[in-house]
Amino acid sequence: MRVLVVEDEQPLAEAVARGLRREGMAVDVALNGDDGHEKAMITRYDVVVLDRDLPGMPGDTLCEEIVGSGELTRILMLTASGTVADRVDGLSLGADDYLAKPFAFAELVARVRALARRATPPNPPVLRAADVRLDPARRTVYRDSGHIDLTRKEFGVLEVLLSAGGSVVSSEELLERVWDEHADPFTTTVRVTVMTLRKKLGEPGIIETVVGAGYRIPEAGSVSDE
């Protein structure tokens, strides 16, 4: 899951980003509306956590720009004012949800996850391939009856591949969906993560390399791990 936090209070922005990363999300941060607009127009985010009161481009304008782009990105608007009139105003701009400051972090996480589910085609509660089962809500992976302990990045890669329903996912897309903007696109990060993920999942392998295209988890058939 890829999230953009647009918040001009740097300590709050960094605290929210750290917390969401601990929840396994890839998070980018923008400290003003102009930077937020640039990031949102370049990268497809599942959710944008957007403060209304921003320097540069106002949060309301940025909300309208994101909605007008036609992407499925969902917007959680933050504000210091929690009046009904402000909620109605924010939602009328196209925001999908509204959260007043101060807020409980657990509530923020729950709302971000709920919005992310609406930003992508619906998946079953538990993703499966062969005898591998991944539960996104509980963040658990099992093969046969045994639990597999994965890092956040390994879990994210497996979730993206399982969600693709047998389609090929490129290394570039995995980098975009699982890592954040600080990831170096020219490194072997994705290949190394897939390699360690394969080792942890064990045999028979379920992740297939499609030469020159990326990776996939076939719905049936043999699997190559070249």
Task: Identify whether 223 is part of a domain.
Answer: no
Q: Are residues 16 and 110 in the same domain?
A: yes
User: Could you tell me if 44 and 140 lie in one domain?
Assistant: no
Say whether both 163 and 138 belong to one domain: yes
The pLDDT of residue 32: 97
Quote the CA–CA distance of 165 and 216 in Å, as a whole number: 9
Pair (101, 131) in one structural domain:
no
Residue 160: which domain range? 127-216
CA gap 59, 101 in Å, rounded: 15
- Whether 195 maps to a domain, the answer reads yes
Q: Containing H/E element for 175? A: helix 171-178
Count of structural domains within the chain: 2
Please write the tens of the pLDDT for every residue from 117-156. Answer: 776 655 567 888 888 999 887 889 999 869 999 998 999 9
Contacts of 135 (CB under 8 A, 6+ apart): 125, 126, 127, 141
91 and 136 co-located in one domain? no
Query: Looking at the structure, do residues 145 and 173 belong to the same domain, yes or no?
Result: yes
CA atoms within 13 A on the CB side of 148: 22
Structural domain contains residue 145? yes
Domain contains 225: no
Q: Does residue 173 have a pLDDT over 50?
A: yes
pLDDT at 124: 63
Q: Within this chain, do residues 153 and 173 fall inside the same structural domain, yes or no?
A: yes
Which CATH number covers residue 31? 3.40.50.2300
| Domain end (from 119, 146, 166) | 119
pLDDT one-digit tens code per residue, 15-70: 999 999 988 888 999 999 999 999 999 888 999 999 988 999 999 999 999 998 87
The structure's pTM equals 0.64
- Pair 18, 93 in one domain: yes
Peptide bond into 218 cis (omega under 30): no
Chain mean pLDDT for the chain: 86
For tokens 């394969």, what's the residue? 198
Question: Same domain, yes or no, for 109 and 133?
Answer: no
Is 6 in the same domain as 71?
yes
